[in-house]
């Protein structure tokens, strides 16, 4: 069994656990403390509110433990708010600098709430390099506006107000999606994460 941890401090971690249950050979692990990370083969940081997830991670001592996992080469996928937390540079479309806590593990710049408010949420197909067509649900999503160093954008979304911006990025063992794979029933991104765990 491949053990996939899901950070469970805030946001839609239950939906990720349910999605992971659909995959054969996968055992989802609820991660609330650093102890829960001891034997995971991959990790998911879910969507939700990135400021809240970031501060709770810090309170629970998960931040250092996740940085340690990343350095050990364990695949980590951040989705939506999770993508924000993995990024090195973050601004909000409206308020600019947020000063929020970040793990700052990936050489990417993201704009929070890049597509507008909740009512501007949308669903579309994105083409992910190495994966193919993926159904993508964007909910108050960030946009990946820059990748440097070893980070690479694997998928773009073309939006009427923000133009063409990054939706998926990868840097070695770190993967981000600005959409919600746990809500679409399309499991291809999880399969990709699992393939990274086997490398």
**Does residue number 55 form part of the binding site for ligand GLN (CB under 6 A)?**
no
**Does residue number 81 form part of the binding site for ligand GLN (CB under 6 A)?**
yes
Query: Which of 17, 20, 44, 47 is the binder for ligand GLN (CB under 6 A)?
Result: 47
Which of helix, strand or coil describes residue 139? coil
- In angstroms, the CA 69 to CA 38 distance is 9
Q: Are 93 and 113 in contact (CB under 8 A)?
A: yes
Task: Report how far apart the first and last C-alpha atoms of the chain are (Å, whole number).
Answer: 16
Site for ligand GLN in 84-103 (CB under 6 A): 84
In the complex, minimum distance from the CB of residue 172 to ligand GLN, in angstroms, rounded to a whole number: 23
**Does residue number 49 form part of the binding site for ligand GLN (CB under 6 A)?**
yes
**CA gyration radius, the chain:** 15
Active site amino acids? 80, 180, 182
- In angstroms, the CA 87 to CA 114 distance is 15
Site for ligand GLN in 161-190 (CB under 6 A): none
Nearer of residues 3 and 58 to ligand GLN, judged by Cβ: 58
**Does residue number 15 form part of the binding site for ligand GLN (CB under 6 A)?**
no
Which of helix, strand or coil describes residue 128? strand
Q: Site residues (CB under 6 A) for ligand GLN?
A: 47-50, 80-81, 84, 112-113, 139-140
């Amino acid at each position: 069994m491949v053990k996939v941890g899901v950070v469970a401090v805030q946001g839609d971690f239950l939906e990720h656990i349910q999605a992971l249950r659909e995959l054969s050979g996968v055992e989802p692990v609820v991660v609330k403390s650093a102890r829960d990370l001891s034997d995971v083969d991959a990790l998911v940081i879910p969507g939700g509110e990135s400021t809240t997830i970031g501060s709770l991670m810090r309170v629970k001592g998960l931040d250092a433990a996740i940085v340690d996992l990343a350095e050990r080469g364990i695949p980590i996928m951040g989705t939506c708010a999770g993508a924000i937390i993995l990024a090195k540079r973050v601004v909000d479309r409206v308020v600019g600098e947020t000063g929020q806590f970040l793990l700052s593990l990936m050489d990417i710049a993201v704009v929070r709430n890049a597509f507008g408010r909740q009512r501007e949420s949308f669903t579309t197909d994105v083409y992910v390099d190495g994966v193919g067509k993926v159904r993508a649900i964007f909910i108050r999503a960030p946009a990946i506006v820059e990748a440097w160093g070893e980070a690479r954008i694997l998928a773009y979304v073309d939006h009427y107000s923000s133009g063409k911006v990054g939706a998926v990025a990868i840097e070695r063992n770190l993967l981000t999606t600005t959409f919600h794979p746990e809500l679409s029933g399309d499991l291809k991104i999880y399969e990709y994460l699992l393939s990274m765990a086997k490398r």
